[in-house]
Structure 1
Amino acid sequence: MKLKKIITPVLCATLFATALPAAETNEAKPSKKSVITAMRVANDYFMNKWSDPGQVIPYPSRKKNYEANLWTRGYYFEGLMDLYEVDPQQRYLDYAIEWGNKHNWGLRGTKNGVLPRNADNLCAGQTYIYLYQLDPKKPEKYITAIRSAIDSMMATDKIDDWSWIDAVQMAMPIFAQMGNLTGNKAYYDRAYDMYMFTKTKHGDNGLYNPKDSLWWRDADFDPPYKEPNGEDCYWSRGNGWIVVAMARMLDLLPEDEKHRKEYETMLVSMCKALKPLQREDGFWNVSLHDPSNYGGKELSGTAMFIYGMAYGVNHGLLDAAEFSPVIYKAWNAMVKDCLHPNGFLGYVQGTGKEPKEAQPVTYDREPDFDDFGLGAFLMAGSEITKMK
C-alpha cells in the first residue's frame, strides 16, 4: 500500500457497472486494462452486496453474527487499498473510511477496555493505519486503538503469540507500519522476534520446514502428522499467508532494515518451492504435497502465491522469465474459471485450517465469508498490473 490521493470522505452513492473482460489464455500476459476490469467486476459485486460496510456478517450454521471488522473483512480492505493504488477511485477510500467509522476504528475482541493481542483481531489495523497515513489531517481516532494494542504488546516480553501461520500476515505488517509511523526500530525488532518464534519454536522445532521451504499450519500438523499419501501436510492458504506477509514486510520496511534479508530469502525460497507444485490448469491444490487430498481448483491460496511472486519479480528478487508465465497462467485461470459474469468469485475454500475444511470447493458454492478471497484476488491483480 503506497500513498497517493488525498481523502475526501464523501461516500459515492452509485457503484459503476463494468463489463466482464474476456479471459486470456494459458501463459499470455494479461493487459493491465483487462486485469483492472476483472478486479472492478469482482469488487463492484461485493460493494453492492455489502453496501453498508458496518453490517454484521451472519453465520447461520453457528447461530451467530460476526462484527464486520474481523480478520476476513480486514484482509478484504487490504486488497481494496491495493486496488486503489492502481485504480484510484475515491469511492474505494470512502467505503473504507465508512467501514472504520462504523466500528469507531476499534478492534474486534476488545473487552471492558482491554485491547486484543490475538492477531486475527488486529488485522483491521493495517487498513486503519494506511488511511491515517493517507489523510493529510491525520485523524488520531483512526489509529488510537491499534496503536494502543500494539504498544501494550510491546510493553511485555511475550513473543509466542503467533502459534498459527495465518497470524503472521494478520499482525506482523502492523509492527512495520508502527515503526514507520514512529521511527522506533523496536517495532521492527519485535516483529522479527515473534516471527522467528513461529518459524523455529512453535510446535516441535518451529512451523517452518527448511527441507521443503514450506510451513505447517500449526503444531497439529507437525510430523508425525501425514497426508493420506504419506507426505507432510502443507495447506495452500496457510502458506499463502506467509508469502503475503513476506512481501508486505519488504514493501513496508526501510531498505536498510537489518531483518530484510530474512524476509527476502523466505519469499524467494517459498516461491521456488511453490512453482513446480502449480497445477496444469494454473491453480494450486489446497494440499500442496498431496493432490489426491481434496485436490482441485482453489482461488485464495493461488492468488496469494502469485501476489508474492509478482512482488518478487517487480522488485528483482525473482527471475521474470521464469516466474511470469506461472503468474499469468494462474491469473488467467482465476479470471476464466472463478470470476462469474456478475462478479462473484467461485472456487474459494471457506475458513478453516487444513485441506478438508469447507469442502467441496466449487464454482458456485459461496464460502462462509465472501471477503478474504476477494482481498487475495485484488492484491494479486494489483501487483500484476505493475509487471513490465
Structure 2
Amino acid sequence: MQNNRIAIFLIALLFSAGWTKAQELPTQKEVMDQMVLTNQYLMNKWPDPGVNVITNKERPSNLWTRAVYYEGLMALYALKDDKAYYDYAVKWGEAHNWGLRNGAQTRHADNHCAGQTYIMLYEIDPQPERIRDIQSSVDDMIETYKINDWDWIDALQMAMPVFAKLTSITGDKKYSERMYEMYMDTKVTQGLFNPIDDLWWRDKDFLPPYQEPNGNDCYWSRGNGWVVAAMVRTLEFLPKDDPHRFEYAQMLQRMLKSILTVQRTDGFWNVSLHDPTHFEGKETSGTALFLYGMAWGVNNGLLEKEVYMPAITKAWNAISKEAVHDNGYLGYLQGTGKEPKDGQPVTYTSQPDFEDYGLGCFLLAASEMYKLAE
C-alpha cells in the first residue's frame, strides 16, 4: 500500500512538473522572435503599403483592417527600434496624404482608426500634415450635438484612442469629454452593455430576444475583444488626471473577470463566448485581444497577477505554438463580420478575407507579453 502511495505521488509530481513547464512564460527573445516573424510575413506580402486592397472589392489601404495592423506595428516599433518599421508606417501615411478613408468629413469610427497611427507618428516627428485630417474630422464632430455615431462596439476600439490621443497632444479636454459622452451613449443609451454578464452585445441586432442556439445571449468574442482593446488604449493614452479613467478601468476589470471564466482549456476563446457549441473551435483574434487586455492589466497593476497569469500563459502558448505558422502566417483567424457564423470555417490553414487586423491584434498582445516576460 505504501509503495502504491509513493507511485501515485511520483506520477502526480511528474504530471505537475510537465504541466508547469508547458505553461511557463516565454522569454523576451521568444516573444520578439515571433513578433518579428509574423510582422515580416505581412511586410513581405505588401511591400508597397499604399497599394489598394482587393478582396470582394477594391478598397484603399487606409481602411480599418490595415489601420489595426499599424497599431500593432507601432507597438513592435516601441520595443524594437528598427527604422524599417518606422519607414513602413510613414510610407503608408504618405501614400494617403495622411488622409482618412472617405475624407476628413467622415464621422465613421472605422475611418478614424488610421488616425491612431498618424498621431503616434506625429508625436515622433510633429509635422502638422500628419494630424491635419484626423483632428479636423474629430473637431467637426464635436461642433455638432450628435453623439450616437458609435452604434456597434467595434467602433470603440477604432475611435476612442484617437480622442484620447488628441486630448494628450493638445491638452484640450473637449476631446476626452466628447469621447466619454459617446462611449456612455453606446453603453447606456443604446444599451449595448449588459451589466449582468459584464459583456457587450455587438450591436442592436443582438439585443434580447436574440439568442444563440443554446438559448444564451450572443457575445461575439472579437467584438468584446475590441472593447477590451479600447479600454486599454484609452487608459494608456489619456492624461492621468482625466475624471473618467475610473469608468474605463472598472469596465476593463469587469469584462476580463467575466471573460476569464469562459476560456477554453486549450487557452483559446470560442467565437461565441456563452455558446461554446456555436461554431466551436480555436480563434486567434478574440484570444489575442483578451490576452492583450489581461497582460496589460497585470503590467499596469489593474489585475491580480496570481489570478490572471495562468490564463495569460495558456493564451500565449495557445497562439504562439498552435496558430503561428513557420513562415509567420497566423492560423485560426476569423474573417471580418459581426457574429460567430461569419468568416467560417476557421482552421489552422483557413484564409480570412483580411488577415492584417489579426496580425495587429497579435502584435499588441505580444508587446504586453514582452513586458511581462521582463
Task: Specify the TM-score bucket, using the shorter chain as the normaliser.
Answer: over 0.9
Which residue of the partner structure matches residue 115 of structure 1?
105
Please state if 1:75 is matched with 2:68: yes
**Given that residues 278 and 284 in structure 1 are in contact (C-alpha distance below 8 angstroms), is that contact kept between their aligned partners in structure 2?**
yes
Runs of 4+ in 1 over 2 A off after TM superposition: 24-27
2-side partners of 1:115 and 1:310: how far apart? 36
Identify which of 121, 132, 137 aligns with 1:131.
Answer: 121
How far residue 276 of structure 1 moved from its aligned partner, in angstroms, is 1.2
Corresponding residue for residue 309 of structure 1: 294
1:185-264 correspondence runs (5 A): 185-202=173-190, 206-264=191-249
CA distance in 2, matches of 1:363, 1:143: 39
1:33 paired residue among 21, 29, 32: 29
For the Cα contact (< 8 Å) 1:25–1:329, is it kept in 2? no
Matches within 5 A, 1:1-388: 26-59=22-55, 62=56, 64-110=57-103, 115-135=105-125, 138-202=126-190, 206-387=191-372, 388=374
CA distance in 2, matches of 1:299, 1:115: 34
Q: String of CA shifts for 1:149-207, please: whole Å, max 9, x gaps.
A: 010001111100000000001001111111112111111110000000000111xxx10
CA distance in 2, matches of 1:109, 1:130: 21
The Cα of 1:85 is off from its aligned counterpart by 1.1
- Once residues 294 and 81 of structure 2 are traced to their aligned partners in structure 1, the CA distance between those partners, rounded to angstroms, is 23
Conservation of the 8 A alpha-carbon contact between 1:26 and 1:328:
no
Letter in 2 for 1:146: I
Partner of 1:16: none
Q: Which has the larger radius of gyration?
A: 2
> SS state of the match for residue 324, structure 2?
coil
User: In the aligned structure 2, how far is the partner of 1:244 from the partner of 1:327?
Assistant: 15
Larger fraction in helix: 2
Contact 1:132-1:140 within 8 A present in 2 as well: yes
Distance, in Å, in 1 between the alignment partners of 2:145 and 2:299 is: 37
The amino acid that maps onto 2:197 is: D
CA distance in 1, matches of 2:69, 2:21: 27
TM-score, normalised by the number of residues in structure 1: 0.90
The DSSP-based 3-state class of the residue aligned with 1:385 is helix
Q: What stretches of structure 2 of length at least 5 have no aligned partner? A: 1-19
Q: Is the 8 A contact 1:105 1:141 kept in 2?
A: yes
1:49 is matched by which residue type in structure 2?
Answer: K
Question: How many residues were matched structurally?
Answer: 354
SS at match of 1:130: helix
Structure 1 distance, partners of 2:274, 2:79, is 35
Q: Is the contact made by 1:346 and 1:364 (CA closer than 8 Å) also made in structure 2? A: yes
Cα distance between partner residues in 2 of 1:196 and 1:26: 42
> Given that residues 38 and 335 in structure 1 are in contact (C-alpha distance below 8 angstroms), is that contact kept between their aligned partners in structure 2?
yes
Amino acid at match of 2:273: L
Contact 2:167 2:239 in 1 (8 A): no
Q: Deviations over 1:107-157 (max 9, x none)?
A: 0012xxx6210000110000000000111xx11111111010010001111
Counterpart-to-counterpart distance in 2, 1:315 and 1:339: 27
| Superposed CA offset, 1:306-345 (max 9, x none) | 1011111011110111111111111111011111101110
In the TM superposition, what is the alpha-carbon distance from 1:27 to its structure 2 partner?
2.3
Any idea what SS the aligned residue of 2:261 has? helix
Residue aligning to 1:3: none
Cα distance in structure 1, aligned partners of 2:348 and 2:238: 38
- State the alpha-carbon separation in 2 of the partners of residues 27 and 222 from structure 1: 37
Contact 1:69 1:103 in 2 (8 A): yes
Shift of 1:26: 3.9
CA RMSD after TM alignment: 1.0
- Map Cα deviations across residues 75-125 of structure 1 (whole Å, 9 max, x no partner): 000000001111221111000000001111110012xxx621000011000
Higher mean alpha-carbon deviation, 226-235 vs 181-190, is at 181-190
Q: Structure 1 regions of 5+ residues with no counterpart?
A: 1-23
CA distance in 2, matches of 1:107, 1:101: 12
Identity value in percent = 56
Is contact 1:236-1:301 (8 Å) kept? yes
Shift of 1:28: 1.0
Pick which of 248-257 and 292-301 moved more: 248-257
CA distance in 2, matches of 1:383, 1:216: 27
| TM, length-normalised to structure 2 | 0.93
3-state DSSP class of the match of 1:84?
A: helix
The alpha carbon displacement at 1:25 in A equals: 6.2
